[in-house]
Amino acid sequence: MTGSGRLAWRGSATLALALLAGSVLTQAAAPATPAPAAAAQDAPYIVEWVYKVKWGHSDEFFDIFKKYQIRVLDREKELGNVLHYTVYRPGLHTSEDQRWDYRVVIVYRNQLVPAQAREIEKQLFPDRTAFKREENDRWELVEAHWDLPIREIDPHATED
């Protein structure tokens, strides 16, 4: 490398270090913003569970669902993890591709608490073999299922 090449390289390296240092200092001096995890701890988290059950098995599915999932949701509500939940069934029929049998809208205290459901299941249903067998039976009755995190918006709010 020639002398002028070394000087250009050193100048570029020095400039890059200065920019990096300035960036670090700017970030350190910037006011703290809540981390996503902190924001998740404060805001309600809404999830919709949707189930499309095989024809003729709706009652069987819901009996198992009540036995396990509703009991877990009730316990989570007692603990304050679930603020409220609502179970819906359609009032009329629709096309097969749009059909659903049950929707459960759950408002969790925050985004972190749904992960606690497994521990609550273990406490409520210590016979893990029976629990797994019946939950597998319930899932065998499902044609389609999705969990959809949803958020409430204020239609009158101005966008930033």
Q: State the pLDDT at residue 57.
A: 96
Going by C-alpha positions, the residue among 133, 141, 148 that lies closest to residue 52 is 141
Cα separation of 20 and 37, whole Å?
27
Give the Cβ contact number of residue 73 at 10 Å.
20
Going by C-alpha positions, the residue among 25, 17, 47 that lies closest to residue 110 is 47
> What residue ranges of the chain have pLDDT lower than 70?
1-41, 160
Structural contact between residues 47 and 148, judged by C-beta atoms closer than 8 angstroms:
yes
Q: State the pLDDT at residue 9.
A: 39
Cα separation of 1 and 12, whole Å?
15
Render pLDDT for 114-127 as a digit per residue (tens, 0 to 9): 988 999 999 999 99
Tokens of 49: 């569970």
Structural contact between residues 83 and 34, judged by C-beta atoms closer than 8 angstroms:
no
Q: State the pLDDT at residue 154.
A: 87
Is the overall model pTM greater than 0.85, yes or no? no
Contacts of 126 (CB under 8 A, 6+ apart): none
Q: State the pLDDT at residue 14.
A: 40
- Tokens 């890059």 label which residue? 16
Q: State the pLDDT at residue 153.
A: 87
Contacts of 151 (CB under 8 A, 6+ apart): 46
Pick the CATH number of 40-150 from 3.30.70.100, 3.90.580.10, 3.30.450.20, 3.40.50.300: 3.30.70.100
Residue 26 exposure: Cα atoms within 13 Å on the Cβ side: 6
Q: State the pLDDT at residue 7.
A: 42
